[in-house]
Every structure is written in structure tokens, then in C-alpha cells.
Amino acid sequence: MAKTAAVGPAQPKLPLRARVRTLPQRALLALRKYWFIYLLALPGIIFLLLFSYGPMYGILLAFKDFKINKGVWGSPWVGLLHYRDLFSDPAFIQAFKNTVIINIYHLVFGFSFNVFLALMINELQFRRAKSVIQTCVYLPYFLSWVIFAGLVQVFLQAPVPGDVGGVVNQIIVALGGESIDFMKRPELFRGILVITNIVKTAGYSTIIYLAAIAGVDPTLYEAAAIDGGNRKDMLLHITFPRILPSVAVMFLLQVSQLFLSNFDQVYNLYNTFVYSTGDVLSTYIYRISLGGGAEFELSTAANLLLNVLGLLALVFSNKFVKKLDVMGIF
Amino acid sequence: MAVSGVQKPRVPRKSLRQRFGFNFYDVFVVLFCVAFAVICFYPMWYVFIASITPYEEFVKGGLMLWPSGGVDLQYYKTIFSNSSFTTSLWISASKTVIGTLLSLLITSTMAYAVSKVHVPGMKLINVLAVFTMFFTGGLIPTYILYMDLNLIRTYWVMVLPYGFSITYFIIMRNYFSYSVPKDLEDAARIDGCNEVGVFFRVLLPLSKPMLAAVGLFLAVGFWNDYYSYMMYIANKSELQPFAWVLRRVLTDSAMMAQVRQGAADFSAQLPPPMALRMATIICAMLPIMCVYPFLQKHFAKGILIGAVKE
């Protein structure tokens, strides 16, 4: 507000009037001056309020006993009853554990792989080869998880009567082994999640690191060469330290998503055989409400808990990001 | 990085690089990258080749590097003779076009407005928008809202809720704030252009590449979306998008049986489920493959716009 007051050329001459201006008057003035900007923002604001803030009213359900004929507001309050139910539901506890464990796996294996891949792509010498490889590794990102789950199925399916098995099982059988039904083995499922996630997103996530590497001053490498360093030394002592801030930011962003789970991926890959290791919070929330069950309040309560935990994790990791002097999202 | 082959004069033994033109480090780098690229690309190639290979050839196994034994399009014929497929292709295509245009229009205009931080109120709107990235109503409250809006089980539930996209809002806002030269806008104003003219005559032409990139991203998102159908429509076969038909072909044996029966008219034997799945996967991938060259050209810029401060 203070800025707008300083913009008008007439302002310094009329300090008194400017001072006694009340908020509605100032709003009117701004509206008259910037009507076009407000007009441009209007449709977006309407959509934002309607479709993003509109549902928030329904969060009240987490504390209510929903009666469909009475609506959200008219239904009776039940306090924290649904949270008591939630925490005594073994399926919820299991889904919570699975979510955190799977996310830690993604963080340990997926994240480090991304950084490593970016460094390796950067080390490629031939420009042509580099661009061909980049084209290949970015591609899976644009395919949906449905397609990807289909590919996984084509490759991992166990042979059934009337249909040959997937390629991997054909190879195992050809080598004299016994075919494995990968998708129905709970102990393998988290591994499948981590690996498919790497194949799908690793290429895309290198972009940010490659951009950071491109910003490294080339004279540093020349200096290193004069001092007799080989390429491995340059990688470890020049390139890697230079991308460390980006790596840290991406790491913290991923930490802030510790309680979020990729519905698309899990829903398209899992089945009843692997619920014990593969069921995550988002699939749990879906299954107990629209996907078969009718626990609408429980589902809302779980979602609210998830959001609050997510916000806390975000605030926590944002504290560290701020220290790194990189542009945040705000 | 032309400095790689540095000579070390004091080392008496010649390095591998000097003797053969490469060393283990180079070999490792190339092998690693090529291996990962093959892992990313080969599955799609395999599925493509397998879907056009005659079944007798396919059951022999093999790596499917090249179509051997002739090209056979019978699986595609089967698919396109099924009415679920053709209807859903039409639904997917139309919602992709409408949704992309709507989302581009609403998100870009708001992003431009919010990039004008000196306008009172814009900072607040920005915080309100970004907050929704981390805090949502959740599945059931959203469902209740759509019910109140009479959107449930209609075509528009797959389009309207995505009118404002927070991810692309942030990207576009940063683009308008940092990548469009402020001087150009000021010059236009000095020449007597008003705010309306600045937007239409300066901003929009300057942002064409960015709008194209974001539009492609949005289009891919709309094409791949089956979530809104599954959650808010479900069981209304005339509205199902192609992504959902694909999902059913992959998981629903009743759907598979129906598709296979359709092939009985022009094929002596029923096509194997695996082959039909592959052909469906290829159909779902095809539009994305068609825009991928354009996507790839722009998208690095697209996501970096939001990440790099000028």
C-alpha cells in the first residue's frame, strides 16, 4: 500500500489528504488505477476460491457424523471420535508406516540416483550422444502411470495358461529358473515402486542439476587441468560442490513430502496381494471412501491429518532452504 | 570439458587413455548412461514391435528389436472396431483441447496480474494461491462440493476443476516477473500504451514460447488424466477417457473378454490378451510421442523458468 501512495505524482503536494484517506477509499483508488490488472486476475481468483477453497469447508466432516440429508453443517458434532477410530485401525497404521518407509526408500535410492545420473550425463564427451541419451531418459516422464504400469505388467507378468509370461520371466525360465510372480510378492513390491519411479522420473529430475552444472565457471576446470587434476578429481572437487546447493534444496523439498504418497503410481501397480507392504495413505483414503468403503468422515479425518503433517514438514524444511539463499516458491 | 586428456609428464607408464584413446572412467560413464537410456526406451520399443508382430512370431520370444515375420495390424483393427475405444478417444481429445485452452487462459492472466506485485492485494492473492499447493480439502469434501455444483457424473468435472493450475501458475508468475524485460513494458507505456495495450501487444507476443511450453505440459496432463473420471464419474461408459479404457484393458478381465469377442468377426482365433494390452498402450502413448519433440525442445526451459533467478 505504501508503495502505491508514493507512485502518484500528486501525492507529495497533498500529504494531509493522503493521510486521512481510509482503506475503502484507497481500495477504490487502486481499483480505478489498476482495473485491468484486477480484471485479469478475476477468473483465476474465482476458480481458486471455488475449486481449491470451496472443498475446505467440507473438512468439518472430520469432526462430524455425516448425515447426507442434513448436509455438512447440519450434521452433529462428534469431536475427535474419528481420530480415535483412525488410530485404532490397523490398516491406517500400516498405510502410514508404508508411506514413510517407501518415501525413505525413494529418498535414499531414488534421490541419490538422480544426482549420480546428472553427473554421469554431464561427463559424456560427445554432444550428439549426450542429446540422444537425454531424449531417451526424459521420455518416460511424460507417459502416465497407467501406461507405465502396463509396461511393468508386460515385462514382469507371470506365465498363465493361454498366455506367455512377461519378458523377465521368459528369461528366467530360459535360464532354467522358476518363474516369479513379481506383482504378487509383498516383499518385492517396495523395490518395484522405487525402481519404476527411478526409471520414470530420474531423467527429468536431472534437468535442474544439469542447469546448475552449466553455470559452473569453465576457468575452474582449466585451472584444475593445469594443476594436473584428472576428470574424476574435477567431478568430485569442482562439479559436485557447485551443485550441492541445488541438491540440498531438492533434498529438503523431498523431505517435506515425507507423508505424501504417489497415488497414481501405487494405485496402478498394487493389488490385494501386496497391501501389507504397498498400501499407502492416499490409496487408503480412497479405498475407505469412494473406492468401496463408505467411511467418508474417516477418510476426511485422515486427509486432514496428512495435510497438517505435510505443512509441518514443509515449514521445517523451508527453514533450512531459506538459509541456502535460493528462490523459494513464495 | 575439452581439457580431459591431460598429460601427466611425470608418470612413466602410459595411461590407458594414451594407449587406447579411452580409459575405464570414460567407459564406465558411457556404459552407465547408455544402459539407463536403454532401460528407459527399450520397454516402449519392445511393446511397439510386439504389438505389430504376428502372434506365432511373438510366442517364440526374443528381444523384438525389429519386426520379424511381417507387420500385422490385427490388434489395432480389433481395438478400433470396439466402440468403447473410439468414444473414449473422442472424449480424451476434446477434454484435452478444451481443458488446455481454459487452463492456459485463466492461469496465465492471473499469473500476469500477480506478477505485478506493486498492485495492492496481489501479494495476498499469491499467498492464498500457493497455500493450496500444500493444503487441500481432500477427496470427500471435494466430492461434496462437486455434488453441490451439479458437476458429478458430467463431462465438465474432467475439465473445470483444472481451470486454475497452481504449478503452472508459479512457473508463469516467475516468468512474467523475471524473464520479460521490464524496459519493454515501460517503453510501451511511455509511447502512450495503456495497461490493456501493454498486455495484448507486448506481454502476450513475448510470452508465446512460454505459453506453448506450458500448453503442451497441460495437454499431456489432460490426456493422461483418468483420476477425475474414476473419482467423480465412474460407471458412465459414454464419458470414459482413453486413459481409463487403457486401465480397464490392463486390469479388468471382463473388459478384455469384450474386446476379444469383438475380434471374432474378422479373425479366426481370438487375439491373446497380452498383445491387445500392448496395442492399447501404444495407442495411449502415440499422441504424447507426437508432441514429444516439441515438448523436449521447450520443457527444460519451462521448468527452469521457475527455478532460476535472473
Same-domain status, A229 and A281? yes
Task: Assess whether B145 and B219 both reside in one domain.
Answer: yes
The grid coordinates listed for B264 are 471374432
Q: Are residues B299 and B265 in the same domain?
A: yes
A121 and A191 inside one domain = yes
Q: Which three cell numbers stand for residue B73?
A: 495390424
* Same-domain pairing of B51 and B84: no
- Minimal C-alpha gap between B91 and chain A (Å): 17
8 Å CB contact of A311 and B135: yes
Q: Which residue from B minimizes the CA distance to A26?
A: B120
Domain boundary among B32, B50, B72: B72
Mean pLDDT of A115-124: 91
Using 50, 70 and 90 to split pLDDT, how confident is the model at A163? low
Task: Tell whether A73 is within 8 A of chain B (Cβ).
Answer: no
pLDDT for res A7: 47
| ipTM of the prediction | 0.83
Last residue of a domain, one of B57, B72, B87: B72
Q: What CATH number is given to the structural domain containing A211? A: 1.10.3720.10
In a domain, B7, yes or no: no
DSSP calls for A266-312: HHHH--GGGHHHH--HHHHHHHHTTSS---HHHHHHHHHHHHHHHHH
CA angle B292, B294, B298 (to 5 degrees): 110
Report the gap between the CA of A196 and the closest CA in chain B (Å).
10
Count how many domains chain A has.
Answer: 2
What confidence score (pLDDT) does residue A244 get?
83
Residue among A45, A57, A106, A49 nearest A304 (CA): A57
Residues B202, B295: one domain? yes
Residues A117 and A180 in one domain: yes
Mean pLDDT in residue range A196-213: 89
**How many contacts does A have with B, using Cβ atoms within 8 A?**
282
* Strand, helix or coil for residue A125: coil
Confidence class of residue A293 from pLDDT cuts 50, 70 and 90? Answer: confident
- Residue B104: what pLDDT? 94
- Is residue B268 very low, low, confident or very high in pLDDT (cuts 50, 70, 90)? low
- Residue A17: its pLDDT value, please? 60
A157 interfaces chain B, CB cutoff of 8 Å: yes
Residues B150 and B259 in one domain: yes
In this structure, the answer to whether residues B93 and B167 fall within a common structural domain is yes
The pLDDT of residue A1 is above 60: no
pLDDT greater than 60 at residue B22: yes
C-alpha cell belonging to residue A200: 520414470
| pLDDT of the residue at B1 | 43
Q: Does a structural domain hold residue B266?
A: yes
Q: Are B310 and B178 in contact (CB under 8 A)?
A: yes
Whether A329 is in a domain gets the answer no
Q: What is the pLDDT of residues A147-156, one digit of tens each?
A: 888 888 888 8
Task: Map residue A64 onto helix, strand or coil.
Answer: strand
Identify which has the larger pLDDT, A111 or A164: A111
Instruction: Determine, yes or no, domain membership for A223.
Output: yes
Pair (A131, A170) in one structural domain: yes
Same domain, A25 and A53: yes
* B234 in the same domain as B94: yes
Which range of A45-54, A71-80, A228-237 scores highest in mean pLDDT? It is A45-54
Does the pTM of the predicted model rise above 0.95?
Answer: no
* pLDDT digit string, tens, across residues B108-163: 999 999 998 888 889 999 999 988 888 888 888 999 999 999 999 999 999 999 99
At A5, the pLDDT band (50, 70, 90 cuts) reads very low
- Domain of residue B42 covers 16-72
**CATH number, domain with residue B145:** 1.10.3720.10
What is the total count of domains within chain B?
2
3-state secondary structure B163-231: CCCHHHHHHHHHHHHHHCCHHHHHHHHHCCCCHHHHHHHHHHHHCHHHHHHHHHHHHHHHHHCCHHHHH
The answer to which of A96-100, A159-163, A266-270, B73-77 has the lowest mean pLDDT is A159-163
Average pLDDT over residues A8-37: 69
Long-range (24+ apart) CB contacts under 8 A made by B190-197 are B194/A36, B195/A34, B195/A36, B195/A37, B196/A36
- Cβ of A208 within 8 Å of Cβ of B303? The answer is yes
Phi-psi region of B61 (alpha: psi -120 to 50; beta: other; left: phi over 0): left
In a domain, B4, yes or no: no
Write out the residue range of the structural domain in which residue A162 sits: 82-323
pLDDT value, residue B310: 34
Give the pLDDT score at B101. Answer: 95
Residues B53 and B87 in one domain: no
On whether any CB of chain B is under 8 Å from the CB of A275, the answer is no
In a domain, B252, yes or no: yes
- Asked if the model's pLDDT at residue A6 lies above 50, the reply is no
Give the minimum alpha-carbon distance from B162 to chain A in angstroms, rounded to a whole number.
8
Q: CA-CA distances (angstroms) from residue A81 to A61, A63, A77, A84, A297?
A: 11, 7, 9, 5, 10
What is the pLDDT averaged over residues A65-86? 83
B201 in any annotated domain: yes
- What is the predicted pLDDT for the residue at B113? 93
Same domain, B205 and B248: yes
B2 domain-assigned: no
Q: Report chain B's mean pLDDT, rounded to a whole number.
A: 82
Percent of chain B with pLDDT over 90: 29
Same domain for B48 and B120: no
Instruction: Inform me whether the pLDDT recorded for A134 exceeds 50.
Output: yes
